[in-house]
Chain A
Amino acid sequence: MKILVCISHVPDTTTKISFTADNKSIATSGIQYIINPYDEIALTRALELTEKSGGTVTVINVGDASTDATLRKALAIGATDAVRVDANPANASFVAAQIADYASKNSFDLILTGRESIDYNGSQVAAMVGELLNIPSVSIVKSLEVADKNVTLEREIEGGKEIVSCPTPLVASATEGMAEPRIPNMRGIMSARTKPLQVMAAVATETYQQLVGYDKPEPRTQVKLIDASNVKALVDALHTEAKVI
């Protein structure tokens, strides 16, 4: 099975976000970057599948040279090879167009992404890639099993789950439960150095949007502490003051 896993390079989850003076990008100094946690789940599942029944796992990222370290980490975890489309990942439709272009020339059986990236929180890329390639996409998948050329997926829905069956090729976006992420071992880290990392130029796309700027939410006002012996006061405040019950 030939699998493509899309990797986002995102600030570590503990990062306190601040912005550059024009509010158009995040201030990157001191930020640790990681593989988007959901993408790591997708990568791990891809490796489990190919370890069981053979195949390759290619990882792809759209970004500048600073994301190479993140791709090397994916190689250290076990990916076969890596591709970086050398461009600013300005928005989901741009990124999806790059991935779809690469995938259309390399016929993958399965394309995996994370359910969303934890930086811009878009959950658009998987379904956009599916639409661009005119193949099915299944979103927010917590279990993915392959038998022959048929894939059975459990996707999350409000108040339950849905079991979907789909022949390859398809795109799926991973969420918790699909696999437990792995920590790369020393052998993996050593071998990652010599695995192929191909850098490609971006294809031209139409631009449908632009970022105006970022803004921070207003901080909350001071917490009102209520004595543990007077729980009634909390219920009263929620009713008369906050008006939420």
Chain B
Amino acid sequence: MNVLVYIETAEGKLKKSATEVLSYGKAIAKNSGGMLTALAIGDLAADEQSKAGRYGADKVLHVTNDKLKQFINQAFASVVAEAAKQSNTSVVVISNTFNGKAMAPRVAVKLKAGMVDGAVGLPDLNNGFKVRTSAFSGKAFADIELTSAIKVITVSPNSFKAEENQAAGTIEAFSPSVADSDFTAMVKEIVKASDKISLPEAEIVVSAGRGLKGPENWGMIEELATLLGAATACSKPVSDAHWRPHSEHVGQTGLAISPNLYIAIGISGAIQHLAGVSSSKTIVVINKDPEAPFFKAADYGIVGDAFEVIPKLIEEVKKFKAANG
């Protein structure tokens, strides 16, 4: 099966999620004897183009068109669908990022494709085409069989490991037909919250709850996160009380994340919170209440007061970083 992956870029570089979808797409192409084509829209530095080949792309379709300088989902979906048709694609893989979520369903409609979003593993190609995704906010998995000729899959960031797999990576300029009717919506402005690590893509997340007592106490959370190269997150009561922005709220009605390491500080672990973080690979819980339900869902736990434990943890991480670089 020929596979097309849409690779997201930022400032001319492949995003980490792009290497993940390349690896995911490569595995499908390899297992089914097909070609992997990568599609990049916008600036892409020369060494980044070869990186797409290093992560498995047999061919890279590169679109440079001033109209596509900013992300408009309607237009980008048209470009992906056109590339899919041109490269005789059976499977389209897109990262389940904010932009991926905004465009992938439109691609599926254009291609009359069945779609699975937030896939957590490779498709099972024995006897059909089955994809596993999470359901009920991480409380369960759903296995879905796609029966359409073309399939669209979005892959959650950080759920599939990027692996190098050298392929030709031939660069080809691609000039899609871009219709004016695709540009009804316009991006006025992009506001960067900060240079902090983006929460959905973070490998390590330091999260805190009501146990922190007030927004003025987040300094130590930020410090620990910076030391670990982590993003910060919070529980629902914290964002409801406006101690932290809604964009940091993880849980059933917030963001669902799957970092390698999730450190929960002063969060009791209500079922709604667990739902959003339970697919984290390793969970550490620090809470002064030994009965906190979160300990049952954790890999490591410390029963103790955050205001005593966190400063110590910061010191230990500093020592560790000094010793291990």
Contact = CB atoms under 8 A, between A and B. Distances in A.
Main secondary structure of the interface of B (DSSP, over half): mixed
A163 B191 contact: yes
Interface string B180-224: 010011111111111111111101100000000000000000000
B261 A152 contact: no
Contact of B185 (A166, A224, A239): A166
A200 interface: no
A42 B113 CA distance: 28
B67 to A, nearest CB: 15
Contacts of B130: 212
B121 to A, nearest CB: 12
B119 to A, nearest CB: 12
Given A127-B105, A223-B299, A176 B239 contact: yes
A209 B147 contact: yes
A123 B117 contact: yes
B177 to A, nearest CB: 16
B196 A118 contact: no
A158 interface: yes
Chain B CB within 10 A, most for which of A155, A208, A216, A227? A208
Nearest to B308: A228
Given A93-B108, A134-B181, A13 B252 contact: yes
Interface residues of A, number: 83
Nearest to B143: A212
B110 A207 contact: no
Interface in B296-317: 296-305, 308-309, 312-313, 315-317
A237 B188 CA distance: 47
A164 B187 contact: yes
A209 B142 CA distance: 12
A11 B130 CA distance: 26
Contacts of A234: 284, 300, 302, 313, 316
A137 B105 CA distance: 10
A214 B140 contact: yes
Interface string B33-61: 00000000000000000000000000000
A123 B282 CA distance: 26
A89 interface: no
B142 A159 contact: no
Nearest to B197: A159
A155 B146 CA distance: 30
Contacts of B145: 209-212
A209 B144 contact: yes
A211 B294 CA distance: 31
Nearest to B134: A121
A30 interface: no
B28 interface: no
A234 B228 CA distance: 14
A81 B184 CA distance: 30
B13 interface: no
A142 interface: yes
Given A127-B106, A131-B110, A177-B246, A244 B204 contact: yes
Contacts of A161: 190-191, 193
Contacts of A92: 105, 115
Interface string A182-218: 0000000000000000000000001111111111110
Contacts of B71: 162
B168 interface: no
Given A120-B142, A213-B143, A162 B191 contact: yes
Interface in A5-43: 11, 13-14, 16-17, 19, 26, 37-38
A165 interface: yes
A124 B102 CA distance: 8
Contacts of A212: 130, 143-145
Contacts of A123: 101, 105, 117
B198 to A, nearest CB: 4
B253 interface: yes
B203 to A, nearest CB: 8
Contact of A131 (B98, B109, B118, B191): B109
B105 A128 contact: yes
A137 B144 CA distance: 26
Contacts of B225: none
A217 B141 contact: yes
A124 B117 contact: yes
Interface of B: 71, 73-74, 77, 97-99, 101-106, 108-110, 112-118, 130, 132-148, 181, 184-201, 203-204, 228, 239, 246-247, 249, 252-254, 256, 260-261, 270-272, 275, 278-279, 281-285, 295-305, 308-309, 312-313, 315-317, 319-320, 324
23 contacts: A13-B253, A14-B270, A118-B137, A123-B101, A128-B108, A138-B185, A159-B192, A159-B194, A160-B190, A176-B239, A208-B115, A210-B145, A212-B145, A213-B143, A223-B285, A224-B299, A225-B302, A231-B302, A231-B309, A231-B313, A234-B284, A238-B282, A238-B284
Given A121-B134, A122-B117, A209-B147, 11 more contacts: A13-B253, A131-B77, A131-B105, A142-B247, A158-B199, A159-B198, A163-B188, A210-B145, A228-B303, A228-B309, A231-B315
